[in-house]
Chains A and B, each alone.
Chain A
Amino acid sequence: MTHAVDLHTDVAEVLLTENEIAAKVRELGTRISSDYAGRRLTLVSVLKGSLPFMADLMRAIDIPVRIDLMEVSSYGGSSTESSGLVRILKDLSASIVDEDVLIVEDIIDTGLTLNYLIRYLRGKAPASLRICTLLDKPARRLVEINVDYVGFTIPDQFVVGYGLDYGELYRNLRYVGVLRPEVYSEATDE
């Protein structure tokens, strides 16, 4: 049986409109193209949340780019109980040795996943490793990370849309919105 979820009514407030996101992505693309002018760049997207951002950002960059995808297990997922350690669910499909690499993230909050990824990717000897995130939520930061490209710094609210999910839903919203607290408090009452 399908559980009925009204995506838009579950959103209390639109934090970033589709137009605002598109303008920011163009701006980031221009900056990245300028910073890496004359070089080839490998964009590494971290599944699944950064997919829409990656798709738009790569088209806003006008230097040669390669793309690759990675997925790591998240704490609280099914793998947590089995191993208790983060796992690479999908590794890079090509070598990044001596390549300029830009990690493309949807959101950085605690920085724990990114900290793990940085350590992992540095071990693969890239020429350079930088980070680009659409959203930065510094209030939650546990691990201080130098983020090279930040789209928006947002307040400590539960956001969904443009790739960001709650319970694997809402990723397909074209905007970033604040999820109504009732939606996740209902889950805690179950």
Chain B
Amino acid sequence: MARQPVTAPFAHASEAEMSRILDFYGVRWEYEPHTFPILWNLDGNVVESFSPDFFLPDLDLYLELTTLRQKLVRKKNRKLRRLRELYPDLNIKLFYARELLALMLKYGRHALVEGMSGSSGQFALPHGMAAGSAIEQPTVGSPSGTGPAAEAIVAALAAAPTTARRRRIRTAADHERAARP
């Protein structure tokens, strides 16, 4: 069973969605389980490190997702190159924005496509909840948000189910406000 025993507070909607995809296909995953130092100062202190988003223990594979703009992807690519130089035995795959979006299209997750791009995707759905779908109760044994903060997020999402939709609504309201005398 791929369901994870611990809570995984995802930083981005794309990560939450990836966890659901991996769960669906029975692939075990760990969220940011390891941090790899990649730069040290002269005193030997770590000044830069890299924590791949997922580790898939059965496949011995790290996954890093990015929905960033090209300029920021270059920075991430540089870090990844450094990581590979320092840890040549590490098996890591970088999923770019276009690959993630193609994956979402393949799975018919149209509502997620816009919301997963850039900063609008930073508001991650708790695990066990699919954007654009009915809100599910967390399954026993799966990572999910718990406590008042998570409940507040669930309530907020119930009112506005998709990030993309929320953004559109806000934009329209902003325009309306701006047009007022």
Contact = CB atoms under 8 A, between A and B. Distances in A.
21 contacts: A75-B25, A75-B107, A76-B106, A80-B24, A80-B133, A81-B134, A84-B128, A85-B23, A85-B26, A86-B24, A109-B106, A116-B25, A140-B103, A141-B93, A142-B93, A156-B99, A158-B105, A184-B105, A187-B110, A188-B105, A188-B110
A116 B25 CA distance: 6
B2 to A, nearest CB: 8
A190 interface: yes
A36 B128 CA distance: 45
A6 interface: no
A139 interface: yes
Given A156-B102, A188-B114, A190-B110, A81 B25 contact: no
B59 A143 contact: yes
A110 interface: yes
A82 to B, nearest CB: 9
Contacts of B21: 75, 112
A112 B27 contact: yes
Contacts, number: 69
Nearest to A137: B102
Interface of A: 74-77, 80-81, 84-86, 109-110, 112-113, 115-116, 119, 139-144, 156, 158, 167, 184, 187-188, 190
A110 B23 CA distance: 14
Contacts of A187: 110
Contacts of A113: 25
Contacts of B133: 80-81
Interface of B: 20-27, 59, 61, 63, 93, 98-99, 102-103, 105-110, 113-114, 128, 130, 133-134, 136, 139, 142
Contacts of A74: 107
B59 A140 contact: no
Contacts of B23: 84-85
Give the top 7 A-B pairs by smallest Cβ distance, nearest first.
A76-B107, A112-B25, A76-B108, A75-B24, A188-B113, A188-B110, A75-B107
A97 B25 CA distance: 24
B12 to A, nearest CB: 18
B76 to A, nearest CB: 18
Contacts of A75: 20-21, 24-25, 107
Max chain A CB contacts within 10 Å: which of B23, B25, B108, B133? Answer: B25
A116 B60 CA distance: 16
Given A81-B130, A86-B25, 7 more contacts: A74-B107, A75-B107, A80-B24, A85-B23, A113-B25, A141-B93, A190-B110
Contacts of A190: 110
B22 to A, nearest CB: 8
Contacts of B24: 75, 80, 84-86
B26 A86 contact: yes
Contacts of A158: 102, 105
A169 to B, nearest CB: 13
A81 B24 CA distance: 10
Nearest to B108: A76
A187 B109 CA distance: 10
B136 A81 contact: yes
A79 B169 CA distance: 30
A119 B26 contact: yes
A126 B139 CA distance: 34
A187 B139 CA distance: 31
